[in-house]
Amino acid sequence: MLEINKEYIVTIETLGYEGEGVARINGYPVFIQGALTGERIKIKIIKSKKKFAFGEILEIIDKSDGRKIPDCIYFEKCGGCTLEHLKYDCQLEFKTNRVKECIRKIGGLNDDIVLPTLGMKDGYRYRNKGQFQVDLVDNEVKIGFYSEKSHKIIDIDSCLIQDEESEIIIRIIKKWMKKHSIMPAKKNGAFFGDGILRNIVIRKAFKTNEIMVILVTLHKEISYIEELIKELNSNVTGIKSIIQNINDKDTNWVMGEECITLAGQNYITDYIGDFKFNISALSFFQVNPYQTEVLYNKALEYADLSGSEVVFDAYCGTGTITLFLSQKAKKVYGVEIIEQAIENAKVNATLNNVANAEFFVGKSEEVIPNLIGKGIRPNVIVVDPPRKGCDIKLLDSIGEAKPDRVVYVSCDPSTLARDLKCLEEKGYRTVKVQPVDMFPMTKHVETVALLSKLNVDKHIDVEIKLDELDLTSAESKATYAQIKEYVLEKFGLKVSTLYIAQTKKKCGIEMREHYNKSKKDNQAILQCTPEKEEAIMDALRHFKMI
């Protein structure tokens, strides 16, 4: 272990999953927030464990050419934009390399198929939705975002990735709360009996400039609400909807299920490309409309439709990608497990006079085989799964359906790589992987991948027994206890052995027969949260298991 408060001069070797600098002291990894690859810096050890340590920068001796002064005054405190000290072209390079690493280490594929990340002009003012936390700290109302890896609120007056109108709206609400002693629902991060306002959500339609303001409260009664409505409408052009959302649960979920329209209509209207969408308070809509159009057009390009094809859109959500596909397909079938999302998809199709799209509620891995059983065979299958990736049964269904092409849209390069590996085993070749920067200034990256069915006459199957493969060497690099310790120390999260096993399974570390093992119907199994899965992924990378 390294000695706490001891100072060292180190050289940063690489950037970690969170964008932090990684150095080694006698082979001992040290994570330094804010450091960049190639920099020579003086650090102080602030936390030390058996396998790793954390340091803080005391002095940057040799700066990286990629370093820039952050434009945001809250950068060092706020947990949102972790890469703002890195020039934007270097951010894109970091994201490309991250995707390449996953494709190579998890997918076992040649990373030459990964194309350079498609970015924006400058990476600011791109978010059409802001979710602001409200808290009472030292008897003062704080409205803003969480600091990094904590529930401490950073009180902000400006956020450079949000739309500028949101700053005006927050100032008006804060002034109203102070004038009438409207209390936040939380005091120092915990619910207390006297408060009501827990969150503020602001949505803006960039094409129409329509704005929705959502007040998330513990209960229905809000004093002096008419005055707030008047102030908002008088000072902010474009407000078309003011909504109250009721969330009385002691949970981290931002919004509840009940919405009350306080003023205006219950939706705003925006466009992606030529398609029109009505967006309600609870509707899912991509937060970066500029890059969403880039992503969807790339998916449409990879689908390579001529007008005669049948397309399945798995995990279709509210049908945004489905509508894009409908432009050039004969017929598109959208499948989504969330009933409300399918209702929204049908409304969106009607709104845009799309007649060649049909939507189904249910699990994609169950609905798609049923469609095939009815004689409906897809030429192309598009998938856009959640962060955990595709269900293995859906991947099996794709293999059985044998579409000519598979287009995979992903928000997690690790699970993308795992699923590409599985599809390659089912007779597909990954042609190319295109990262798209949907979230500039952050670590996140979206990708769209194209897979093509192999010509069965030009390749042969080779059977390799599992005992001929060395599948245990990676697992021997760290015990479950070591992974738990790493995650607790670095992220402040407690993870179970089950969660670690689930994440390792997604990375293909465990035996394939365990990954494919069927479970009893309706068997209740806890699933790892995205936040904890990301932390475990970081640990697996640290121990060089992926």
Q: What is the pLDDT of residue 251?
A: 84
The span from the CA of 68 to the CA of 57, in Å, is 16
Supply 44's token pair.
């102080």
Q: pLDDT tens digits, the chain, 546 residues: what are they?
A: 899 999 999 999 999 988 999 999 998 999 999 999 999 999 999 999 888 999 999 999 999 999 999 999 999 888 889 999 999 999 999 999 999 999 999 999 999 999 999 999 989 999 999 999 999 999 999 999 998 777 889 999 999 999 999 999 999 999 999 999 999 999 998 888 889 999 999 999 999 999 999 999 999 999 999 999 999 999 999 999 999 999 999 888 899 999 999 999 999 999 999 999 999 999 889 999 999 999 999 999 999 999 999 999 999 999 999 999 999 999 999 999 999 899 999 999 999 999 999 999 999 999 999 999 999 999 999 999 999 999 999 999 999 999 999 999 999 999 999 999 999 999 999 999 999 999 999 999 999 999 999 865 445 444 444 343 333 333 345 778 778 878 887 777 888 888 888 888 877 775 333 333 444 444 456 778 877 888 888 888 777 677
Residue among 375, 437, 427, 435 at smallest CA distance from 406: 427
- Please state, as a whole number, how many other Cβ atoms lie within 10 Å of the Cβ of residue 325: 27
End-to-end CA distance of the chain: 24
The span from the CA of 499 to the CA of 491, in Å, is 15
**Is 290 one of the annotated binding-site residues?**
no
- Annotation says 72 is catalytic: no
Environment class of 32 (CB within 10 Å of its CB; exposed 0-12, middle 13-18, buried 19+): buried
CA contacts within 13 A on the Cβ side of 287: 18
CA-to-CA separations, 170 to 142, 159, 233, 348, 389, in angstroms, rounded: 10, 11, 13, 31, 36
Whole-prediction pTM: 0.81
Return all residues near 300 (Cβ < 8 A) that are at least 6 apart: 324, 325, 327, 328
CATH fold, domain 129-280, is OB fold (Dihydrolipoamide Acetyltransferase, E2P) (2.40.50)
Tell me the pairing of strands 380-383 and 405-410.
Answer: parallel
Residue among 131, 134, 101, 92 at smallest CA distance from 17: 101
Q: What is the pLDDT of residue 42?
A: 98
Q: What is the pLDDT of residue 482?
A: 78
What single-letter amino acid sits at 266? N
> Choosing from 81, 159, 390, 411, which is the catalytic residue?
411
Q: What is the pLDDT of residue 176?
A: 98
**Is 286 one of the annotated binding-site residues?**
yes
Polymer length of the chain: 546
* The domain defined by 104-120+288-458 carries CATH number 3.40.50.150: yes
Please answer whether residues 255 and 200 qualify as being in contact, where contact means their C-beta atoms are separated by less than 8 angstroms: no
Is the CA virtual torsion 249, 342, 348, 449 positive or negative? positive
Tell me the pairing of strands 428-436 and 380-383.
Answer: unpaired
Residue among 357, 287, 290 at smallest CA distance from 321: 357
| Beta-ladder partners of 45 | 55
- Angle at CA 404, nearest 5°, toward 402 and 409? 95
Q: What is the CA radius of gyration of the chain?
A: 25
Return all residues near 131 (Cβ < 8 A) that are at least 6 apart: 199, 200, 201, 254
Helix (H, G, I), strand (E, B) or coil at 430: strand
In the chain, helix, strand, coil percent, each to 5?
A: 30, 30, 40
Residue 269: its H or E element: strand 267-272
Q: What is the pLDDT of residue 455?
A: 67
* The domain defined by 7-67 carries CATH number 3.40.50.720: no
Q: Strand (E) positions, 338-426?
A: 357-361, 380-383, 405-410
Mark out the alpha helices in 79-216 (DSSP H runs).
88-105, 164-180
Task: Please tell me if the domain spanning 7-67 has the same topology as the one spanning 129-280.
Answer: yes
Residue among 287, 334, 76 at smallest CA distance from 161: 287
**Is 434 one of the annotated binding-site residues?**
no
The span from the CA of 533 to the CA of 513, in Å, is 22
Q: What is the pLDDT of residue 505?
A: 80
The span from the CA of 218 to the CA of 204, in Å, is 24
Supply 536's token pair.
């475990």
**Is 384 one of the annotated binding-site residues?**
yes
- In the chain, domain spans: 7-67, 104-120+288-458, 129-280, 468-542
Q: What is the pLDDT of residue 89?
A: 97
Q: What is the pLDDT of residue 477?
A: 58
| Beta-ladder partners of 538 | none
